[in-house]
Structure 1
Amino acid sequence: MKRIKRYAKRFIIMLQFFTTIPIKENINCHAEDYGKGLVFAPFTGLIIGIILMGIYCGLELFFPHEVVFAFIIIAYIVLTGGIHLDGLADTFDGLFSGKSKEKILEIMRDSRIGTNGVLAIVSLLLLNYALFVSLDLQDIKTVLILFPAAGRMASLIGAGASGYARKTWGLGKSFIDFCDLKEVIAGSLIYTLAIYIGLGVEGLVIASLTILFPYIILKLIEKKIQGATGDVLGALCELNQTFFLICFMLYKGVIFKIF
Protein backbone atom coordinates (compact mmCIF):
# COMPACT_ATOMS: atom_id res chain seq x y z
CA MET A 1 0.00 0.00 0.00
CA LYS A 2 2.85 2.40 0.82
CA ARG A 3 4.42 1.68 -2.56
CA ILE A 4 1.14 2.41 -4.38
CA LYS A 5 0.78 5.69 -2.50
CA ARG A 6 4.36 6.62 -3.35
CA TYR A 7 3.82 5.91 -7.03
CA ALA A 8 0.54 7.84 -7.04
CA LYS A 9 2.25 10.80 -5.37
CA ARG A 10 5.04 10.83 -7.93
CA PHE A 11 2.60 10.58 -10.81
CA ILE A 12 0.67 13.59 -9.50
CA ILE A 13 3.94 15.49 -9.09
CA MET A 14 4.72 14.87 -12.75
CA LEU A 15 1.31 16.16 -13.81
CA GLN A 16 1.70 19.23 -11.64
CA PHE A 17 5.19 20.01 -12.87
CA PHE A 18 4.89 19.23 -16.58
CA THR A 19 1.35 20.45 -17.25
CA THR A 20 -0.96 23.29 -16.31
CA ILE A 21 -3.76 20.86 -15.47
CA PRO A 22 -5.31 22.33 -12.28
CA ILE A 23 -4.52 19.67 -9.68
CA LYS A 24 -4.96 21.41 -6.34
CA GLU A 25 -3.17 18.84 -4.25
CA ASN A 26 -0.55 19.98 -1.76
CA ILE A 27 1.93 17.11 -1.76
CA ASN A 28 4.78 16.69 0.69
CA CYS A 29 7.60 15.56 -1.59
CA HIS A 30 11.36 15.26 -1.63
CA ALA A 31 13.96 15.78 -4.34
CA GLU A 32 14.05 12.04 -4.94
CA ASP A 33 10.36 12.03 -5.88
CA TYR A 34 11.08 14.21 -8.90
CA GLY A 35 13.80 11.97 -10.31
CA LYS A 36 12.04 8.71 -9.55
CA GLY A 37 8.74 10.17 -10.73
CA LEU A 38 10.13 10.64 -14.23
CA VAL A 39 9.22 7.01 -14.87
CA PHE A 40 5.69 8.40 -15.35
CA ALA A 41 6.81 11.10 -17.81
CA PRO A 42 5.75 9.12 -20.93
CA PHE A 43 2.35 8.44 -19.33
CA THR A 44 2.02 12.16 -18.59
CA GLY A 45 2.70 12.73 -22.28
CA LEU A 46 -0.13 10.35 -23.18
CA ILE A 47 -2.51 12.36 -21.01
CA ILE A 48 -1.44 15.56 -22.77
CA GLY A 49 -1.97 13.80 -26.09
CA ILE A 50 -5.45 12.58 -25.15
CA ILE A 51 -6.45 16.13 -24.22
CA LEU A 52 -5.09 17.45 -27.52
CA MET A 53 -6.97 14.75 -29.41
CA GLY A 54 -10.17 15.76 -27.63
CA ILE A 55 -9.58 19.40 -28.56
CA TYR A 56 -9.01 18.34 -32.17
CA CYS A 57 -12.26 16.35 -32.27
CA GLY A 58 -14.17 19.37 -31.03
CA LEU A 59 -12.56 21.96 -33.28
CA GLU A 60 -12.69 19.93 -36.50
CA LEU A 61 -16.46 20.33 -36.44
CA PHE A 62 -16.14 24.08 -36.94
CA PHE A 63 -12.79 24.88 -38.57
CA PRO A 64 -10.75 23.77 -41.59
CA HIS A 65 -8.02 21.21 -41.05
CA GLU A 66 -5.19 23.77 -41.27
CA VAL A 67 -6.77 26.12 -38.73
CA VAL A 68 -7.41 23.32 -36.25
CA PHE A 69 -3.71 22.47 -36.08
CA ALA A 70 -2.81 26.08 -35.35
CA PHE A 71 -5.18 25.83 -32.38
CA ILE A 72 -3.64 22.48 -31.41
CA ILE A 73 -0.15 23.97 -31.24
CA ILE A 74 -1.45 26.86 -29.14
CA ALA A 75 -3.31 24.42 -26.89
CA TYR A 76 -0.12 22.40 -26.44
CA ILE A 77 1.79 25.50 -25.37
CA VAL A 78 -0.94 26.46 -22.90
CA LEU A 79 -1.27 22.91 -21.57
CA THR A 80 2.46 22.61 -20.89
CA GLY A 81 3.03 26.21 -19.85
CA GLY A 82 5.72 26.43 -22.52
CA ILE A 83 8.20 24.91 -20.04
CA HIS A 84 9.91 22.67 -22.60
CA LEU A 85 10.01 25.37 -25.27
CA ASP A 86 11.72 27.61 -22.73
CA GLY A 87 14.32 24.89 -22.20
CA LEU A 88 14.76 24.55 -25.96
CA ALA A 89 15.40 28.27 -26.33
CA ASP A 90 17.85 28.44 -23.41
CA THR A 91 19.72 25.38 -24.64
CA PHE A 92 20.14 26.74 -28.17
CA ASP A 93 21.18 30.16 -26.85
CA GLY A 94 23.88 28.51 -24.78
CA LEU A 95 25.14 25.82 -27.13
CA PHE A 96 25.39 28.10 -30.16
CA SER A 97 27.06 30.95 -28.30
CA GLY A 98 30.53 29.58 -29.08
CA LYS A 99 31.56 30.12 -25.46
CA SER A 100 33.18 27.96 -22.77
CA LYS A 101 31.20 25.48 -20.68
CA GLU A 102 30.86 27.94 -17.79
CA LYS A 103 29.63 30.71 -20.07
CA ILE A 104 27.24 28.34 -21.86
CA LEU A 105 25.66 27.34 -18.54
CA GLU A 106 25.47 30.99 -17.52
CA ILE A 107 23.66 31.88 -20.76
CA MET A 108 21.28 28.95 -20.33
CA ARG A 109 20.37 30.15 -16.84
CA ASP A 110 19.64 33.69 -18.07
CA SER A 111 15.86 34.21 -18.20
CA ARG A 112 16.21 36.45 -21.26
CA ILE A 113 15.86 34.79 -24.65
CA GLY A 114 18.38 35.38 -27.41
CA THR A 115 18.33 35.17 -31.19
CA ASN A 116 19.25 31.49 -31.32
CA GLY A 117 16.47 30.66 -28.86
CA VAL A 118 13.86 32.55 -30.87
CA LEU A 119 14.98 30.89 -34.09
CA ALA A 120 14.86 27.45 -32.46
CA ILE A 121 11.29 27.91 -31.19
CA VAL A 122 9.96 29.44 -34.41
CA SER A 123 11.64 26.83 -36.61
CA LEU A 124 10.41 23.90 -34.53
CA LEU A 125 6.82 25.16 -34.29
CA LEU A 126 6.70 25.84 -38.03
CA LEU A 127 8.03 22.37 -38.75
CA ASN A 128 5.53 20.81 -36.34
CA TYR A 129 2.68 22.66 -38.01
CA ALA A 130 3.77 21.55 -41.49
CA LEU A 131 4.08 17.95 -40.33
CA PHE A 132 0.66 18.00 -38.66
CA VAL A 133 -1.06 19.46 -41.69
CA SER A 134 0.54 16.81 -43.91
CA LEU A 135 -0.82 13.88 -41.89
CA ASP A 136 -3.42 11.57 -43.35
CA LEU A 137 -6.79 12.07 -41.70
CA GLN A 138 -6.93 8.49 -40.41
CA ASP A 139 -3.61 8.93 -38.56
CA ILE A 140 -4.19 12.28 -36.90
CA LYS A 141 -5.83 11.20 -33.66
CA THR A 142 -3.30 8.45 -32.97
CA VAL A 143 -0.35 10.76 -33.64
CA LEU A 144 -1.78 13.50 -31.43
CA ILE A 145 -1.95 11.06 -28.53
CA LEU A 146 1.53 9.60 -29.04
CA PHE A 147 3.79 12.50 -29.96
CA PRO A 148 3.82 14.13 -26.48
CA ALA A 149 4.76 10.74 -25.00
CA ALA A 150 7.79 10.68 -27.30
CA GLY A 151 8.83 14.06 -25.95
CA ARG A 152 8.58 13.06 -22.29
CA MET A 153 10.40 9.81 -23.06
CA ALA A 154 13.31 11.94 -24.24
CA SER A 155 13.35 13.92 -20.99
CA LEU A 156 13.45 10.65 -19.06
CA ILE A 157 16.41 9.43 -21.13
CA GLY A 158 18.18 12.76 -20.69
CA ALA A 159 17.86 12.57 -16.92
CA GLY A 160 18.71 8.89 -16.59
CA ALA A 161 21.66 8.75 -18.99
CA SER A 162 23.60 11.79 -17.84
CA GLY A 163 24.93 13.61 -14.81
CA TYR A 164 24.12 17.14 -13.70
CA ALA A 165 26.28 19.67 -15.54
CA ARG A 166 26.25 22.46 -12.97
CA LYS A 167 28.23 22.68 -9.75
CA THR A 168 25.44 24.67 -8.13
CA TRP A 169 21.76 23.81 -7.68
CA GLY A 170 19.42 24.15 -10.62
CA LEU A 171 15.86 23.17 -11.47
CA GLY A 172 16.90 19.97 -13.22
CA LYS A 173 19.21 18.68 -10.48
CA SER A 174 16.53 16.73 -8.60
CA PHE A 175 15.43 15.04 -11.81
CA ILE A 176 18.91 14.14 -13.00
CA ASP A 177 20.42 13.12 -9.66
CA PHE A 178 17.67 10.68 -8.72
CA CYS A 179 16.71 9.22 -12.09
CA ASP A 180 18.64 6.10 -13.02
CA LEU A 181 18.57 3.15 -15.40
CA LYS A 182 15.64 1.51 -13.61
CA GLU A 183 13.37 4.47 -14.35
CA VAL A 184 14.59 4.66 -17.95
CA ILE A 185 13.85 0.97 -18.56
CA ALA A 186 10.42 1.09 -16.93
CA GLY A 187 9.49 4.29 -18.75
CA SER A 188 10.71 2.84 -22.04
CA LEU A 189 8.43 -0.16 -21.55
CA ILE A 190 5.44 2.12 -20.91
CA TYR A 191 6.29 4.19 -23.97
CA THR A 192 6.92 1.22 -26.27
CA LEU A 193 3.69 -0.45 -25.18
CA ALA A 194 1.76 2.74 -25.97
CA ILE A 195 3.36 2.94 -29.41
CA TYR A 196 2.59 -0.73 -30.05
CA ILE A 197 -1.06 -0.30 -29.06
CA GLY A 198 -1.41 2.80 -31.21
CA LEU A 199 0.57 1.82 -34.29
CA GLY A 200 0.99 -1.95 -34.15
CA VAL A 201 4.18 -3.91 -34.74
CA GLU A 202 5.50 -1.42 -37.30
CA GLY A 203 5.35 1.25 -34.61
CA LEU A 204 8.14 -0.52 -32.73
CA VAL A 205 10.59 0.84 -35.30
CA ILE A 206 9.45 4.38 -34.52
CA ALA A 207 9.64 3.64 -30.79
CA SER A 208 13.21 2.41 -31.15
CA LEU A 209 14.29 5.42 -33.21
CA THR A 210 12.71 7.92 -30.82
CA ILE A 211 14.47 6.26 -27.88
CA LEU A 212 17.84 6.29 -29.65
CA PHE A 213 17.59 9.84 -31.05
CA PRO A 214 17.49 11.74 -27.73
CA TYR A 215 20.34 9.62 -26.40
CA ILE A 216 22.51 10.62 -29.38
CA ILE A 217 21.59 14.31 -29.02
CA LEU A 218 22.31 14.10 -25.29
CA LYS A 219 25.80 12.74 -25.92
CA LEU A 220 26.48 15.55 -28.40
CA ILE A 221 25.39 18.10 -25.80
CA GLU A 222 27.56 16.44 -23.16
CA LYS A 223 30.61 17.19 -25.28
CA LYS A 224 29.86 20.87 -24.74
CA ILE A 225 28.80 21.00 -21.09
CA GLN A 226 29.78 17.56 -19.68
CA GLY A 227 26.29 16.74 -18.49
CA ALA A 228 22.68 17.86 -18.68
CA THR A 229 20.47 20.50 -17.10
CA GLY A 230 16.74 21.07 -16.78
CA ASP A 231 16.88 23.16 -19.95
CA VAL A 232 18.50 20.27 -21.82
CA LEU A 233 15.70 17.94 -20.69
CA GLY A 234 13.17 20.41 -22.09
CA ALA A 235 15.06 20.74 -25.36
CA LEU A 236 15.24 16.96 -25.75
CA CYS A 237 11.49 16.77 -25.19
CA GLU A 238 10.65 19.25 -27.94
CA LEU A 239 13.20 17.88 -30.40
CA ASN A 240 12.06 14.30 -29.95
CA GLN A 241 8.41 15.20 -30.48
CA THR A 242 9.28 16.67 -33.84
CA PHE A 243 11.52 13.71 -34.63
CA PHE A 244 8.60 11.39 -33.85
CA LEU A 245 6.44 13.26 -36.37
CA ILE A 246 9.19 13.06 -38.98
CA CYS A 247 9.71 9.33 -38.37
CA PHE A 248 5.99 8.68 -38.59
CA MET A 249 5.64 10.58 -41.85
CA LEU A 250 8.68 8.92 -43.46
CA TYR A 251 7.61 5.48 -42.31
CA LYS A 252 4.03 5.83 -43.50
CA GLY A 253 4.82 7.79 -46.63
CA VAL A 254 8.01 6.21 -47.89
CA ILE A 255 8.65 2.79 -46.41
CA PHE A 256 5.02 1.69 -46.64
CA LYS A 257 4.99 2.62 -50.33
CA ILE A 258 8.16 0.60 -50.94
CA PHE A 259 6.80 -2.52 -49.27
Structure 2
Amino acid sequence: MLQFFTRIPIKLRLSADAEDFGKGLVFAPLVGIVIGTILGAFSFGLLYLLSKPLVAAIVLITYILITGGLHLDGLGDTFDGLFSNRSKERILEIMRDSRVGTNAVLAIVSVLLINYAALCQINSTYFLRVVMLMPMAGRIGSLISSAVSTYARREEGLGKSFIDFCGKKELIGGLIIYIVISLLTFDYKMWIVLAVSPISAFLLIKVLSKKIDGATGDILGAVCEINQSIFLLIACSVLV
Protein backbone atom coordinates (compact mmCIF):
# COMPACT_ATOMS: atom_id res chain seq x y z
CA MET A 1 0.00 0.00 0.00
CA LEU A 2 2.87 2.37 0.75
CA GLN A 3 4.47 1.55 -2.59
CA PHE A 4 1.24 2.19 -4.48
CA PHE A 5 -0.11 5.24 -2.64
CA THR A 6 3.14 7.11 -2.02
CA ARG A 7 6.49 7.92 -3.62
CA ILE A 8 8.35 6.71 -0.53
CA PRO A 9 11.30 4.71 -1.93
CA ILE A 10 10.63 1.17 -0.66
CA LYS A 11 12.97 -1.08 -2.64
CA LEU A 12 11.12 -4.37 -2.31
CA ARG A 13 9.77 -6.54 -5.10
CA LEU A 14 6.38 -7.79 -3.96
CA SER A 15 4.11 -10.10 -5.90
CA ALA A 16 0.59 -8.68 -5.57
CA ASP A 17 -2.58 -9.37 -7.52
CA ALA A 18 -5.88 -7.48 -7.82
CA GLU A 19 -7.29 -9.13 -4.70
CA ASP A 20 -4.27 -8.05 -2.64
CA PHE A 21 -4.85 -4.42 -3.61
CA GLY A 22 -8.49 -4.51 -2.54
CA LYS A 23 -7.87 -6.31 0.72
CA GLY A 24 -4.82 -4.12 1.38
CA LEU A 25 -7.09 -1.09 1.76
CA VAL A 26 -7.59 -2.20 5.37
CA PHE A 27 -4.23 -0.48 5.91
CA ALA A 28 -5.29 2.83 4.30
CA PRO A 29 -5.44 4.62 7.70
CA LEU A 30 -1.90 3.43 8.45
CA VAL A 31 -0.66 4.74 5.11
CA GLY A 32 -2.31 8.04 6.03
CA ILE A 33 -0.61 8.22 9.40
CA VAL A 34 2.79 7.42 7.83
CA ILE A 35 2.33 10.33 5.41
CA GLY A 36 1.10 12.51 8.28
CA THR A 37 4.07 11.63 10.48
CA ILE A 38 6.47 12.72 7.74
CA LEU A 39 4.54 15.98 7.29
CA GLY A 40 4.39 16.54 11.05
CA ALA A 41 8.11 15.98 11.55
CA PHE A 42 8.85 18.34 8.68
CA SER A 43 6.51 20.99 10.11
CA PHE A 44 7.94 20.70 13.61
CA GLY A 45 11.31 21.97 12.47
CA LEU A 46 9.97 24.57 10.05
CA LEU A 47 7.72 26.23 12.65
CA TYR A 48 10.85 27.42 14.45
CA LEU A 49 12.11 29.11 11.31
CA LEU A 50 9.07 30.27 9.33
CA SER A 51 5.60 31.71 9.83
CA LYS A 52 2.63 29.33 9.96
CA PRO A 53 1.26 30.41 6.52
CA LEU A 54 4.61 29.57 4.91
CA VAL A 55 4.75 26.24 6.74
CA ALA A 56 1.18 25.49 5.61
CA ALA A 57 2.17 26.05 1.98
CA ILE A 58 5.26 23.85 2.32
CA VAL A 59 3.19 21.13 4.01
CA LEU A 60 0.81 20.98 1.06
CA ILE A 61 3.65 20.94 -1.49
CA THR A 62 5.39 18.16 0.48
CA TYR A 63 2.12 16.24 0.63
CA ILE A 64 1.87 16.40 -3.17
CA LEU A 65 5.48 15.24 -3.54
CA ILE A 66 4.96 12.28 -1.17
CA THR A 67 1.73 11.14 -2.83
CA GLY A 68 2.63 12.06 -6.39
CA GLY A 69 -0.67 13.90 -6.63
CA LEU A 70 -2.41 10.54 -7.13
CA HIS A 71 -5.68 11.46 -5.46
CA LEU A 72 -5.62 15.03 -6.75
CA ASP A 73 -5.50 13.56 -10.25
CA GLY A 74 -8.58 11.51 -9.41
CA LEU A 75 -10.30 14.61 -8.06
CA GLY A 76 -9.64 16.49 -11.30
CA ASP A 77 -10.81 13.64 -13.54
CA THR A 78 -13.96 13.20 -11.45
CA PHE A 79 -14.97 16.82 -11.75
CA ASP A 80 -14.15 16.91 -15.46
CA GLY A 81 -16.50 13.97 -15.96
CA LEU A 82 -19.35 14.70 -13.57
CA PHE A 83 -19.64 18.36 -14.56
CA SER A 84 -19.59 17.68 -18.29
CA ASN A 85 -23.38 17.21 -18.33
CA ARG A 86 -23.05 14.16 -20.58
CA SER A 87 -24.36 10.60 -20.51
CA LYS A 88 -22.92 8.02 -18.12
CA GLU A 89 -20.83 6.42 -20.89
CA ARG A 90 -19.42 9.76 -22.01
CA ILE A 91 -18.68 10.81 -18.40
CA LEU A 92 -16.65 7.63 -17.92
CA GLU A 93 -14.75 8.32 -21.15
CA ILE A 94 -13.94 11.86 -20.04
CA MET A 95 -12.76 10.63 -16.65
CA ARG A 96 -10.36 8.24 -18.37
CA ASP A 97 -9.01 10.93 -20.73
CA SER A 98 -5.49 11.95 -19.70
CA ARG A 99 -6.09 15.56 -20.76
CA VAL A 100 -6.96 18.06 -18.01
CA GLY A 101 -10.08 20.18 -18.44
CA THR A 102 -11.25 23.43 -16.85
CA ASN A 103 -13.35 21.67 -14.20
CA ALA A 104 -10.36 19.61 -13.11
CA VAL A 105 -8.17 22.69 -12.68
CA LEU A 106 -10.90 24.53 -10.77
CA ALA A 107 -11.53 21.56 -8.47
CA ILE A 108 -7.84 21.03 -7.63
CA VAL A 109 -7.15 24.73 -7.09
CA SER A 110 -10.27 25.09 -4.92
CA VAL A 111 -9.36 22.14 -2.71
CA LEU A 112 -5.77 23.32 -2.26
CA LEU A 113 -6.98 26.85 -1.44
CA ILE A 114 -9.38 25.51 1.19
CA ASN A 115 -6.65 23.32 2.67
CA TYR A 116 -4.18 26.20 2.79
CA ALA A 117 -6.65 28.65 4.35
CA ALA A 118 -7.77 26.06 6.90
CA LEU A 119 -4.20 25.16 7.93
CA CYS A 120 -3.45 28.86 8.39
CA GLN A 121 -6.43 29.18 10.72
CA ILE A 122 -5.79 26.08 12.84
CA ASN A 123 -5.02 26.85 16.48
CA SER A 124 -1.24 26.63 16.92
CA THR A 125 -1.73 24.18 19.81
CA TYR A 126 -3.30 21.69 17.42
CA PHE A 127 -1.42 22.46 14.21
CA LEU A 128 1.04 19.55 14.28
CA ARG A 129 -1.64 17.02 15.28
CA VAL A 130 -3.95 18.21 12.51
CA VAL A 131 -1.16 17.97 9.94
CA MET A 132 -0.37 14.44 11.10
CA LEU A 133 -3.99 13.23 11.08
CA MET A 134 -5.13 15.00 7.90
CA PRO A 135 -3.93 12.26 5.48
CA MET A 136 -5.51 9.53 7.62
CA ALA A 137 -8.85 11.34 7.55
CA GLY A 138 -8.60 11.50 3.77
CA ARG A 139 -7.67 7.86 3.28
CA ILE A 140 -10.46 6.53 5.48
CA GLY A 141 -12.59 8.01 2.70
CA SER A 142 -11.00 5.75 0.08
CA LEU A 143 -11.55 2.70 2.28
CA ILE A 144 -15.21 3.46 3.01
CA SER A 145 -15.90 4.41 -0.62
CA SER A 146 -14.47 1.13 -1.90
CA ALA A 147 -16.32 -0.97 0.66
CA VAL A 148 -19.80 0.47 0.01
CA SER A 149 -19.59 0.89 -3.78
CA THR A 150 -19.96 -1.11 -6.96
CA TYR A 151 -17.66 -0.60 -9.93
CA ALA A 152 -19.17 1.71 -12.54
CA ARG A 153 -17.28 0.57 -15.64
CA ARG A 154 -17.93 -2.53 -17.73
CA GLU A 155 -14.25 -2.88 -18.60
CA GLU A 156 -11.24 -3.13 -16.30
CA GLY A 157 -9.90 -0.05 -14.57
CA LEU A 158 -7.53 1.01 -11.82
CA GLY A 159 -10.25 1.18 -9.18
CA LYS A 160 -11.86 -2.20 -9.97
CA SER A 161 -9.55 -4.24 -7.74
CA PHE A 162 -10.14 -1.90 -4.80
CA ILE A 163 -13.91 -1.85 -5.16
CA ASP A 164 -14.36 -5.54 -5.97
CA PHE A 165 -12.14 -6.94 -3.21
CA CYS A 166 -12.61 -4.43 -0.39
CA GLY A 167 -15.55 -5.67 1.64
CA LYS A 168 -17.03 -5.60 5.12
CA LYS A 169 -14.03 -7.35 6.69
CA GLU A 170 -11.61 -4.74 5.34
CA LEU A 171 -13.99 -1.92 6.27
CA ILE A 172 -14.31 -3.09 9.88
CA GLY A 173 -10.57 -3.72 10.20
CA GLY A 174 -9.70 -0.32 8.76
CA LEU A 175 -12.20 1.46 10.99
CA ILE A 176 -10.74 -0.28 14.06
CA ILE A 177 -7.26 0.95 13.08
CA TYR A 178 -8.69 4.44 12.50
CA ILE A 179 -10.48 4.48 15.87
CA VAL A 180 -7.43 3.22 17.79
CA ILE A 181 -5.19 5.89 16.28
CA SER A 182 -7.87 8.51 16.96
CA LEU A 183 -8.17 7.49 20.61
CA LEU A 184 -4.39 7.78 21.02
CA THR A 185 -4.73 11.56 20.58
CA PHE A 186 -6.23 11.62 24.11
CA ASP A 187 -8.19 14.76 23.23
CA TYR A 188 -11.99 14.84 23.06
CA LYS A 189 -11.95 17.73 20.59
CA MET A 190 -9.79 15.73 18.20
CA TRP A 191 -12.15 12.78 18.66
CA ILE A 192 -15.07 14.94 17.52
CA VAL A 193 -13.21 16.12 14.42
CA LEU A 194 -12.02 12.62 13.53
CA ALA A 195 -15.50 11.13 14.09
CA VAL A 196 -16.88 13.28 11.27
CA SER A 197 -14.55 11.88 8.59
CA PRO A 198 -16.12 8.40 8.18
CA ILE A 199 -19.57 10.00 8.02
CA SER A 200 -18.56 12.62 5.46
CA ALA A 201 -16.83 9.92 3.37
CA PHE A 202 -19.99 7.82 3.24
CA LEU A 203 -22.09 10.82 2.20
CA LEU A 204 -19.54 11.92 -0.41
CA ILE A 205 -19.38 8.56 -2.17
CA LYS A 206 -23.17 8.38 -2.32
CA VAL A 207 -23.33 11.83 -3.97
CA LEU A 208 -20.40 11.37 -6.38
CA SER A 209 -21.38 7.87 -7.50
CA LYS A 210 -25.07 8.62 -8.10
CA LYS A 211 -24.68 10.01 -11.61
CA ILE A 212 -22.77 7.02 -13.00
CA ASP A 213 -24.36 4.29 -10.83
CA GLY A 214 -21.12 3.34 -9.16
CA ALA A 215 -17.59 4.40 -8.42
CA THR A 216 -14.23 4.40 -10.20
CA GLY A 217 -10.65 4.83 -9.05
CA ASP A 218 -10.93 8.53 -9.82
CA ILE A 219 -13.94 8.90 -7.56
CA LEU A 220 -12.12 7.09 -4.74
CA GLY A 221 -9.34 9.68 -5.10
CA ALA A 222 -11.83 12.53 -5.14
CA VAL A 223 -13.46 11.32 -1.92
CA CYS A 224 -10.02 11.12 -0.29
CA GLU A 225 -9.11 14.71 -1.16
CA ILE A 226 -12.52 16.26 -0.39
CA ASN A 227 -12.75 14.31 2.86
CA GLN A 228 -9.36 15.69 3.84
CA SER A 229 -10.60 19.24 3.21
CA ILE A 230 -13.76 18.61 5.27
CA PHE A 231 -11.58 17.34 8.12
CA LEU A 232 -9.59 20.60 8.02
CA LEU A 233 -12.73 22.74 7.94
CA ILE A 234 -14.24 20.88 10.91
CA ALA A 235 -10.91 21.23 12.73
CA CYS A 236 -11.05 25.00 12.23
CA SER A 237 -14.51 25.07 13.81
CA VAL A 238 -13.90 22.74 16.74
CA LEU A 239 -10.25 23.18 17.69
CA VAL A 240 -10.48 26.71 19.06
Residue 52 of structure 1, aligned match among 39, 42, 55: 39
Hey, what's the Cα distance between the residues in 2 that align with 1:26 and 1:178?
22
Task: Give aligned-pair identity as a percent.
Answer: 51
Q: Which runs of 4+ in 1 moved over 6 A?
A: none
CA distances 1:29-65 after superposition (whole Å, capped 9, x unpaired): 1111000000000110000000001111122232222
Residue 133 of structure 1, aligned match among 120, 128, 137: 120
The CA deviation at 1:201 is: 3.4
Residue 214 of structure 2, aligned match among 227, 241, 246: 227
Query: Which residue of structure 2 lines up, in the alignment, with residue 256 of structure 1?
Result: none
Mean CA deviation greater in 54-63 or 223-232: 54-63
Residue 100 of structure 2, aligned match among 108, 113, 116: 113
CA distances 1:145-171 after superposition (whole Å, capped 9, x unpaired): 111001110000111100111000001
Q: Which amino acid aligns with 1:130?
A: A
**TM-score, normalisation: structure 1:** 0.90
SS at match of 1:138: coil
Alignment partner of 1:246 is 2:233? yes
Q: C-alpha root-mean-square deviation of aligned residues, in Å?
A: 1.1
CA distances 1:181-240 after superposition (whole Å, capped 9, x unpaired): 111111111112212222533433323321011111111122201111100110000001
Query: Which residue of structure 1 lines up, in the alignment, with residue 195 of structure 2?
Result: 208
Hey, what's the Cα distance between the residues in 1 that align with 2:185 and 2:91?
39
Q: Which amino acid aligns with 1:120?
A: A
SS at match of 1:214: helix
For structure 2, list consecutive stretches of 5 or more residues without a partner in the other structure.
none
Whether the 8 Å CA contact 1:146–1:194 is kept in 2: the answer is: no
Whether the 8 Å CA contact 2:122–2:239 is kept in 1: the answer is: no
For structure 1, list consecutive stretches of 5 or more residues without a partner in the other structure.
1-13, 254-259
Whether the 8 Å CA contact 2:95–2:218 is kept in 1: the answer is: yes
Higher helix share: 1
The count of residues paired between Structure 1 and Structure 2 equals 240
SS at match of 1:137: coil
**TM-score, normalisation: structure 2:** 0.97
Query: Aligned ranges for residues 28-107 of structure 1 at < 5 Å?
Result: 28-107=15-94
Query: Which residue of structure 2 lines up, in the alignment, with residue 218 of structure 1?
Result: 205
Query: Aligned ranges for residues 141-220 of structure 1 at < 5 Å?
Result: 141-198=128-185, 200-220=187-207
